[in-house]
Structure 1
Amino acid sequence: MKVTWRLAPPLRSPPRAAIMDSCLFQLIPQDLFVDTVESNNSLASALTCLFANTEDSTARLSPPLVLEAHRFKDHLSAKFEWDLTLTDEGEWDEVGEVGELIVYPLKSGRGVKVTEAEATRYGLAVDLMEDRSFVAAYPSNVLRGKFDSGMFDLTLTLDGSMVTLRCRQGKEEEEKEEVHFDLQDVMKEGKVVEIPDYRYDVKGYDCGDEAAAWLTKVTQATRKGENVRLVYNGDLMRNRRPETVLKLNMHKTYTYRFYKPSDRVTYAESAAYMLASETSLADLNERLLKKVTLDWFRPNLVVRGVRRAYDEDDWAYVRIGDVVLRRVKPCTKHVFKYVDPETGEKSTNQEDRVLRKTLISSRKIKGPKSLEYYFKYTPVFGVHLGIDSCGKVRVGDKVEVARVSSNPRWEL
């Protein structure tokens, strides 16, 4: 299906005064036009076409005017969190179907496979079970699987408001295998904690002493003598934006340009979604002596039936029913200190090196010249996605994509 947008005629005599008078928007109450873009009304359409025309190289506009238009657009995006980018996904190519949906309620904990879920602004959700909505933390930082591998033994599930936290069978045979608590009690208690993590400050509702004591016991093998608290997002981290800037070295950074002002995460870091394909995993395993599963890479969306391995590198947009997802960056894996999801055994340093080297040599990632050296030595598997249109997704749903190769504007 070809998507065609009708643009206004190129601006030969652009309304310079209108753009220069953008300071008048400073006087508009922020909540007056809060639903303008979401409602797709005439104002949103007119502004979107205006900015599309100023970015059209055939319009022959003066550079100062184009600069003013960009500033005006940035101002509106910052003030009202509007996304005024004209998106033309072009040709949709059916590539397969949804093979698995995985929610990770506990950051760095084990995933929970579901047959259907809501694709929300913050990730997959099934009722109160939202992706990365809980985090385990010491007083000084968050526990992450790549540094605290014991997190991979933990599973958090919800039945209504009842939370169950389990440890992998046999991890601590002498200790209680699971703990339960009611999320309504947590919210009623309303004890807010803040953790000054090295990546970002964490805020949330403390889930109580029983959960904390249990977590402290089952994670003692990695950091002895420190108390671990379980923290729930609630509504305290809803305005957090993903990390969009890549630090290449002490003096150089790169900003990924396909993030939008509307993108949000709770306790995730780079994006609300990660997608991978079964075909890419099969290709990787053909190159490895010790086979791995997709659980090693922790995707939310697994696509089945893709014809070519690593085809997802070429997907600018992904459409599943009413849901439209947008590629923001490749999913990079800097550190491999993984635990076999089936056995709970740690991979050896040699296995980590082999996996890393194999991923790097599997294919060349296309990107800007400034990232050539970075991708040459950084393993990549899967893609990180933001969301443009929310809705329900189900295992078995058709997956369609718009390709980067069909439109140079979508290249990293």
Structure 2
Amino acid sequence: MRLGSIFFYPIKSTSGHEVAEAEVQPWGLAGDRRYLVVDERGEPITAREHPIMLACVALADGAAIKLTGPHADPLRVVPTSRRFTANVWGTPVEVTDCGDDAAAWMAALIGRPARLAWLDDPTRRPVDPAYGLPGDRVSLADGYPLLLTTTASLARLGDWVAETAAELGEEIPQPLDMRRFRPSVVVEGADEAFAEDGWRRLRIGEVEFRAAKGCDRCVLTTVDPDTYAKGKEPIRTLNRHRRWDGKVWFGVNLIPDGTGVIRRGDPVTVL
């Protein structure tokens, strides 16, 4: 097996970037989900409810980031010194405000009051202790430093989606784009679909990881990453084939047991 793709997402729930290599840090890929959009109460605003957020592209610009989108001129954002507490899926996390210009830019894109926040210290947020060790940390991702998916599992899911459409007399849809699942790393060459369900430890290049738990999926997977339109798939078909514990599952969450650079084409070994 080999590492086929690497993605990182500078701002949670906005557009991601595919890269040829990335630095693995204890809390995730370097630069991944260190920024978050929140409402006036400090609650996350995501593309689950506001798919247009996927039209926001953030690029590193020295110590700042540059925002581009369809609604306004590009904006260079430098975090301020003002801190506040965001509620990141039930965990209070101290973050740094990115200023009024960034707030206005995001609010105009989303259509509601919003602020952009930066996690200046990624050691602040622990991983769920039920699945991690005491020293494990995560940035502003949903719960774990990295998410792994495989092309074999996507292909099987695509077959199931086509079968579902045929049974219901619907037009067979285009193959699913892996970007719907917002992975960090995509593995090619797995012998079987969903083999990753049973992985407990693996090595990508020279970096070792624990597979903490499977990834339960939400409605964000039903948003087309290019048009931002919502549909029924893949949740409808996952409900038929990959539902247990009241959730649907695709991919596995990883926690690094080391640091280093991973590169597209690196060997992937199950330990």
When normalised by structure 1's length, the TM-score is: 0.59
1:179/1:265 CA distance change after superposition, 3 Å: same
Aligned to 1:341: 225
CA drift of 1:338 comes to 3.5
Q: Quote the residue 1:287 is aligned against.
A: 160
Distance 1:286 1:177, change over 3 A: farther
What SS is found at the alignment partner of 1:240? coil
1:230 partner amino acid: L
- For the Cα contact (< 8 Å) 1:243–1:269, is it kept in 2? no
The question of 1:243 aligning with 2:149 is answered no
Give the deviation of 1:161 after TM superposition: 2.3
CA distance in 1, matches of 2:60, 2:155: 32
Say yes or no: does 1:121 pair with 2:23.
Answer: no
| 1:219 alignment partner, one of 86, 105, 110 | 110
Q: Percent identity?
A: 31
Aligned AA for 2:247? T
Which protein is richer in strand relative to its size? 2
- Per-residue deviation, 1:122: 0.9
What corresponds to 2:16 in structure 1?
111
Kept in 2, the 8 Å contact 1:149–1:337? The answer is no
Instruction: Report Cα offsets for 1:349-385 as digits up to 9, x if no partner.
Output: xx24xx2242243357xxxxxxxx51xx421000001
CA deviation string 1:250-287 (max 9, x = no partner):
xxxxx44xx21121012123210100011111111122
SS at match of 1:287: helix
Aligned counterpart for 2:262 among listed residues 390, 393, 396: 393
d(CA) in 2 for partners of 1:177 and 1:312?
42
SS in structure 1 of the partner of residue 224 of structure 2: coil
Q: Is the 8 A contact 1:149 1:338 kept in 2?
A: no
Q: Contact 1:166 / 1:179 at 8 angstroms: preserved in 2?
A: yes
Give the letter aligned to residue 180 of structure 1. R
- Paired residue type of 2:238: L
For residue 105 of structure 1, report the CA deviation from its aligned partner. Answer: 1.1
Which of 194, 209, 212 does residue 310 from structure 1 map onto? 194
Question: Does structure 1 retain, via aligned residues, the 8 Å contact 2:153–2:194?
Answer: yes
State the partner residue of 1:135: 36
| Residue-by-residue CA offset, 1:290-339 (whole Å, 9 max, x unaligned) | 33211111100011122211111121111012200101110001445642
Q: How many residues align?
A: 259
Q: Is residue 139–residue 195 contact of structure 1 (8 Å, CA) maintained in 2? A: no
Query: Residue 217 and residue 396 in structure 1: after superposition, are their counterparts in 2 closer, same or farther (change >3 A)?
Result: same
Match of 1:268 among 126, 141, 150: 141
Is 1:166 aligned to residue 68 of structure 2?
yes
- 2:199, 2:3 → 1: CA distance? 15
Greater helix content: 1
The code of the aligned residue for 1:400 comes to: T
Which runs of 5 or more residues in structure 1 are unaligned? Answer: 1-95, 245-254, 365-372, 403-412
Paired with 2:96 and 2:220, the residues of 1 have a C-alpha distance of 31
8 Å CA contact 2:209–2:256 kept in 1: the answer is yes
**Of 154-163 and 207-216, the range deviating more from structure 2:** 154-163
1:381 alignment partner in structure 2: 250
Considering only CA atoms, is the larger Rg found in Structure 1 or Structure 2? 1
Amino acid at match of 1:277: T
d(CA) in 2 for partners of 1:177, 1:124: 28
Higher relative contact order by CA 8 Å / sep ≥ 6: 1 or 2? 2
- The structure 2 residue matched to 1:362, chosen from 234, 241, 244, is 241
* CA distance in structure 2 between the aligned counterparts of 1:196 and 1:154, rounded to whole angstroms: 22
Cα distance in 2 for residues equivalent to 1:197 and 1:121: 19
* Distance change >3 Å, CA 298–CA 394, structure 1 → 2: same
5+ unaligned residues in a row in structure 2: which ranges? Answer: 162-171
Amino acid at match of 2:256: I
Distance in structure 2 (CA, Å) of the matches to 1:308 and 1:360: 20
Question: Which residue, 210, 222, 227 being the options, matches 1:326?
Answer: 210
What is the TM-score when the length of structure 2 is the normalising length? 0.88
Assess if the C-alpha contact under 8 Å between 2:222 and 2:235 holds in 1: no
Q: Is the 8 A contact 1:192 1:206 kept in 2?
A: yes
1:77-130 deviation per Cα after TM superposition (whole angstroms, max 9, x unaligned): xxxxxxxxxxxxxxxxxxx111111111101111111111111101011xxxx1
Alignment match, 2:74: 178
